[in-house]
Amino acid sequence: MEAKVMTMTRLGSIEAGGTKFVLAVADENFKILASERIPTTTPAESLGACIDFFNANPVEALGIGSFGPIGIRQGAEDYGHVLKTPKPGWEGADIVGTLTEALHVPIAFTTDVNASAYGEYSVGAGKDAHSLVYFTIGTGIGGGAIQDGHFIGGRAHAEMGHTVVLPHPDDHFEGVCPFHGNRCFEGMAAGPSIEARTGQPGETLSRDEPVFDYISYYAAQLAYNTYLNLAPEKIVFGGSVLSEAELPKVRHYFEQLNQGYVDPGDLNDLIVLSGVPNNGSATVGDFAMAAALLA
């Protein structure tokens, strides 16, 4: 009798960032089999390096979480393209078209923060939830929302980090956002705002510094606005700015903002940090999106 040959599913991930691309291949259990980091230079060079990597490490499907803004509406002329961006040379770059033509595999394409949301939804802090909103607070602030396995969005992807913020009464900082100053969350709570206020990167400061109280206040506003708008089962924070030390403050400020108006349940269960180790939720999300294409 001829022995049955077991085949392994191979899934691909590209975290397309403004400074680097992180490429990875995993099996069906999301165990990484190969990985590589390449610099973000020109579209021809960076996408060419992606093609070389996946030709050497073939996959059956590929998930991409990209810096933006990007075209995510399938069927639209700009689908799979980078849109108007400050990254030199990347405006109009056709990421999906270039990789599809070269690799001949199905591709799932979304924003980097949506990919992270999908990772948290699949195997992270929201793996048992039907709905989730994920925020990254790092160099910038972004958010992605998922309901029953589908991203919430329409004409374009969400820009939650640039929604309107109510400054803390004691925070007179003018903000770092070149578009909105102190009127959006990214201007007041992203990593660069900490260094602009204090003259030091956030990772060098004690968590007792007043700036982290301000950040907690703004994270609470993000969470509260999100709960009123979407009522998700989980609100997950990732990125380098918030730590476990700030979560009690975030929940406290959420309660202050709410004033008993809605019942969000246990805030310890609602507002949580990323459940994927080493800030790897975007890569895991890419793998999960790739697997969904093969289901």
* Model pLDDT for residues 151-167, shown as the tens digit of each residue: 998 777 888 999 999 99
Among 1.10.3720.10, 3.30.420.40, 3.40.630.30, 3.90.650.10, name the CATH number for the domain at 125-275.
3.30.420.40
Mean pLDDT of 256-261: 97
Q: What is the mean pLDDT of the chain?
A: 94
| Cβ count near 174 (within 10 Å) | 13
Distance CA 235, CA 245 (A): 17
Say yes or no to pLDDT of 142 above 50: yes
pTM over 0.85: yes
200-228 confidence digits (pLDDT tens): 999 999 999 999 999 999 999 999 999 99
Q: Where are the domains of the chain?
A: 11-112+279-294, 125-275
What pLDDT is attached to residue 3? 46
What pLDDT is attached to residue 5? 43
Say yes or no to pLDDT of 188 above 70: yes
What pLDDT is attached to residue 7? 65
Q: How confident is the model at residue 68 (pLDDT cuts 50, 70, 90)?
A: confident
Say yes or no to pLDDT of 26 above 90: yes
Looking at the domain that runs over 11-112+279-294, which CATH code has it been given? Answer: 3.30.420.40
What pLDDT is attached to residue 8? 80
Say yes or no to pLDDT of 4 above 80: no
Q: 219: exposed, middle or buried (C-beta count within 10 Å: 0-12, 13-18, 19+)?
A: buried
Distance CA 128, CA 208 (A): 33
Mean pLDDT of 88-99: 96
Say yes or no to pLDDT of 23 above 70: yes
Say yes or no to pLDDT of 173 above 70: yes
What pLDDT is attached to residue 87? 86
% of the chain beyond a pLDDT of 90: 89
CA 94 to chain centre: 21
Query: Which comes out higher in pLDDT, residue 50 or 295?
Result: 50
